[in-house]
Chain A
Amino acid sequence: MSRIALLLLSSTLLAQPPEPPLAKPIANYDITAVLDAKTHTVTGHETVTWLNDSLDSVSSLQFHLYMNAFRNSRSTFFKESGGQLRGDQFKGDDWGWIRVNSMRLEGSADLTSAIRFIAPDDGNAEDRTVIEVPLPQSVRPGQSIRLTIDFTTRLPMIFARTGFHGDFHLVGQWFPKLGVWETAGFRYSTRGAWNCHQFHANSEFFANFGDYKVELTVPSRFVVGATGEQVRRVDSTSNQTSTYTFQQRSVTDFAWTTQPGFLRVERLFAADKETSFDDISAAARLHGISSDDARLSDVKMIALVQPEHREHIDRHFNGLRAALKWFGLYYGRYPYKSITVVDPPYGAGGAGGMEYPTFITAGTMYHLPPDALTLEMVTVHEFGHQFWMELVASNEFEESWLDEGFNTYSTGKIMDNVFGPSSLPIQVFDMNLWSLLKLPRITQESMDRAGHVSSPRRDDLVRRAWEYYDSSSYSLNSYMRTGVTLRTLEGLLGTPTMDRVMRAYHQRWRFRHPTSRDFQAVVNEVSGRNMDWFFDEFVFGNRALDYAVASVTCVRQRTPMGLFDKDSALSMVSRKDAEARDKKLDKDKSFKPDYLSTVKIARLGDAAAPVEIEIRFTDGHLERRQWDGAYRWAKFTFQRKAEVESVLIDPARKLQLDVSYANNSWKKKFNAPLSAHWGANVLFWLQNLLLTLTSIA
């Protein structure tokens, strides 16, 4: 077949001399792939170079074939998900699969026939998402090997983070990808072994860093976006295709998208314009670094947006700008040159809200109200994964909280600070009822805490992702409860210390693979406090935290009666005398009696944390007490010439894990307006509901 390649100068950038890698490249991939847009099939050729960076001799390789999760209903993914995930139902017969056509070790024999499927997690013989290939010779420590693999991938209907819908394609988890060799001492390993989990319903991914060069050939009318930077585009007029070359060093994965209808908009995040001198100085001061180290770098922002969401282009960029700025100032500058955000079309919701290195998918809806900030939130959140999934490449299979939860915490901070609280889109005839009725707007912090408070505690925070009680428990613990847990930690350590902890953890583990224990060590080190108890209770355990004002009594002190020592003799105050004196004092309006006030605080939950208590008296006096919170209850007594007016546990709301704020305080005066207001409102809404229902009768 004759192929005339046309080099388009306008859209072609020859590869610049490669910059040094940011991370030690362990698994490098050089892939050429051709998309058949009609059959949604990718035919690929991959050269993978693997460096044995351990002290072990490795006799076999393990690869993920993630796309086989969608091969049939007997895969582990389907068994666990029941064919539905994140609100999407798998329908029809558009199954996805990947087939390794050949695998060859450079300078050695064909390994194809030696490939065998394994199921290290659940032993499901019908799962085809992990393969093992014995090597003719072990790979020695420090040695690199190179394999060439021919593969064919058929995309499923858009379902779980990958697939096609119409002519939209999101191509993720699409090529044979090496597992991670974990030598003794690496993360939790006690001996060298592959960490190569099957594709589960409740899980994401884990991989080594490496350099990627990928050539993608698609029909010319298709617009393409991908991980990394586009360095070349070659159009072929003979078969109406275009070949795009993307390169990115020091990432853990590569994903791409293509659709003819995308609106492609490119803008620059100009770091010096987006951040003020004060922003940089404050970050430098807080973290004890130079202004140069705190300064951010310019980033090319690319948005691939659906035409019907044209009005939301700015909102995508607003989300990206806020995220680039604040993630950069909090944790360190974003080190890559570009970030691409993809807006999946209607019907491809399963592709939305997903993260890959330098490439994220967001999601919006037709006529999304401007005060419903879901688009901004998803954009900020997915960008945040660049910091907690990509740069700090934790194992999402085994410790999802380190990515999703840390990101929930960071997203909440940025959303609440930059964009403020949001309404929810409840639309009737293009009117947002939420705004119309002026319902209270919601912060991310509230959303997370509402999830934490209203959901049962079925699991510890940290578990292997597929071993949570169910998908709700996985989501709750990996996202919301972690957000609340980290905010509680922030409350206990103080915001500046927590900011230093998070940055130190991020910087120390950038381009590495930390565990929960590594984070714990950073917390203890940076804060200078032993917070092991906190991790035992709330991270590796899941205890309920609930402090309550149990009782408040104020007893007016009367004249003492009985026998008393006086001048070395016994003196008696008779009951009659005492009562007479009290009667007299009662009549004296200028007399201020003493009150013995007793405040009892109860620990209703099984978790204990140090807690502050604030007691306010009717004369305005304020007493503060610290309690270690350890025993079931604590009693505080005061003798003053005033009664207790109010008691407040945890006045600064440091303990966001506390499941009830309502019982954290007590005040003497009955809040009649609140009762009246709520009574009136509840009655009113019920009256209206009944009037509507009875209009049929």
Chain B
Amino acid sequence: MHAATALSSAFRRTAARKRMVVLYWFTHTLCAAVAALPLLGLAIPQTAHSLYGDEMLRHFDLMYLAELVNAARDSAVGVGVMPGMLSILLAMLASVFLAGGAVKLLVRDDARYSPGEFWEGCGRYFWRFLRLALYSLFFYAIAFAVSGAINKAAVKLWGEGMVEAPLVHATWARQALLLLLLGFVSTAMDFAKVRLVADDSRRSLRACFGSVRLALRHIATVLPVWLGLGLVLALATWLYVAVANRVEAVSMGPILGLFLLQQFYVAARVWLRMMSWGAAAALDPVLRPPAPEPKPEPEPVVEAPPETPEPGPAAQEDFSI
């Protein structure tokens, strides 16, 4: 199976379970609202009855951010930091939780969706996936360490020089490599989730390392999947930016249109996330075929006992050996 087939299968599997996409989108929206509401609670009362707000609807004034900083100087922790941290924590936990149900359903190459099965998967795999997420930090750290090492080497080579170009080019190369490494780790962790579900295993650590090995062995298949999804995301982003930059959002109609466009973009990102699990689910049986059934032990040939009188206890003992 090559990447295109995997992506096509992933699309099919995700499309058959749109409710999961909606649920995942809704959860992220709720978590985002935890951080958004305090900020808006500070900004809206300041500006909604102000003529300055009218001005900023047309041309946002970055100076206003300075006013916000000034206004929230003493309450920055309450308004920004705490809700932000809480929002991230909730989103992380919710994401791990929902992934269990999603992967459980996506592993099956059919169109079935059962809320019961979904929630059962959420609960069943939560701790396994949480452990996996923690183990994955090790590989993400390696990706950043590699990037940091390249940066360090570039600075050592050219940092004391008088020309900036090599450093800038090295930075571009480093950014590209970091992106690829993060994509690789993320894809490997998708395979690990699928493995935990497919094998109904509790061995998160083994799944984590095994999947990294698997992804490395089959990098020519795995990476194109991630690149394909990345390309679609880049295209969606480009489309969003192109359209959003043209929307003159000064009245409710265009604002509603922009809001829908934004949420469509977010939903597209969620869809691609599901597809990355679906692609891993489609590829897993191919890249990691089930171990062949162990051949049954040949039946011991039991010779017919000689016609002897009923064996005594001693003879019976010999037979058991």
Contacts and interface: CB of A to CB of B under 8 A. Distances in A.
Interface of A: 165-168, 261, 306, 308, 345-348, 365-367, 428-430, 436-438, 440, 442, 446, 449-451, 453-454, 456, 646, 648, 659-668, 670-684, 686-691, 693-697
A674 B32 contact: no
- B interface SS class: helix
Contacts of A686: 32, 35-36, 87
Given A440-B61, A661-B64, A691-B266, A347 B162 contact: yes
B269 A688 contact: yes
Contacts of B164: 308, 346, 365-366
Contact of A684 (B96, B189, B256, B262): B262
B168 interface: yes
B140 to A, nearest CB: 6
A586 to B, nearest CB: 27
A688 B163 CA distance: 37
B52 A664 contact: yes
Interface string B216-233: 000000000000000000
B28 interface: yes
Nearest to B129: A697
Contact of B92 (A166, A436, A666, A697): A697
Contacts of A430: 172
Interface string B93-108: 0011001000000000
B91 A694 contact: yes
Interface in B237-262: 241, 245, 249-252, 255-256, 258-259, 262
A450 B48 contact: no
B62 A446 contact: yes
Contact of A678 (B43, B185, B186): B43
Given A664-B50, A671-B50, A697-B96, 10 more contacts: A347-B161, A347-B162, A367-B168, A430-B172, A662-B67, A671-B53, A676-B259, A679-B44, A680-B255, A682-B39
Given A446-B63, A683-B29, A683-B36, A691 B273 contact: yes
17 contacts: A308-B163, A365-B164, A366-B165, A428-B175, A453-B69, A456-B73, A664-B50, A665-B51, A667-B51, A674-B57, A682-B36, A686-B36, A691-B269, A693-B91, A695-B186, A696-B186, A697-B129
Q: Which 7 pairs, one residue from A and one from B, show the smallest C-beta to C-beta distance?
A: A346-B164, A686-B32, A665-B51, A694-B95, A450-B66, A345-B162, A454-B66
Contacts of A681: 262
B40 A690 contact: no
Nearest to A661: B52
B133 interface: yes
B32 A690 contact: yes
A679 B140 CA distance: 33
A674 B53 contact: yes
Contacts of B50: 662-667, 671
Interface of B: 28-29, 31-33, 35-36, 39-40, 43-44, 46-54, 56-57, 59-67, 69-71, 73, 87-88, 91-92, 95-96, 99, 129, 133, 136-137, 140, 159-165, 167-168, 172, 175-176, 185-186, 189, 241, 245, 249-252, 255-256, 258-259, 262-263, 265-266, 269-270, 273
B126 to A, nearest CB: 11
Contacts of A678: 40, 43-44
A676 to B, nearest CB: 5
Contacts, number: 201
Given A366-B165, A446-B61, A697-B96, A680 B54 contact: no
Nearest to B270: A691
A660 B71 contact: yes
B211 to A, nearest CB: 14
B63 A453 contact: yes
Contact of B28 (A306, A436, A662, A687): A687
B87 A690 contact: yes
Contacts of B99: 697
Given A430-B172, A446-B61, A449-B63, A680 B262 contact: yes
Most buried by A among B51, B92, B265, B266: B51
B140 A696 contact: yes
Contacts of B43: 678
Contacts of A696: 133, 136-137, 140, 185-186, 189
Contacts of B262: 680-681, 683-684
Contacts of B140: 696
A614 B307 CA distance: 124
Contacts of A440: 59-62
Contacts of A166: 160-162
Contacts of A684: 259, 262-263, 265-266
A346 B47 CA distance: 44
Contacts of B64: 661-662
Nearest to A429: B172
A222 to B, nearest CB: 14
B51 A648 contact: yes
Contact of B162 (A348, A429, A453, A687): A348
Contacts of B266: 684, 687-688, 691
Contact of A690 (B31, B47, B162): B31
A428 B179 CA distance: 12
B225 to A, nearest CB: 15
B46 A663 contact: yes
Given A440-B60, A446-B61, A696-B136, A690 B67 contact: no
A229 to B, nearest CB: 28
A688 to B, nearest CB: 7
B47 A671 contact: yes
Contacts of B32: 683, 686-687, 689-690
A167 B162 CA distance: 9
Nearest to B60: A440
Contacts of B265: 684
A695 B40 contact: no
B139 to A, nearest CB: 9
A30 to B, nearest CB: 33
Nearest to B39: A682
B162 to A, nearest CB: 4
B28 A690 contact: yes
Contact of B255 (A168, A428, A677): A677
B231 to A, nearest CB: 15
B230 to A, nearest CB: 11
Residue of A168, A428, A691, A697 ringed by the most chain B CB atoms within 10 A: A697
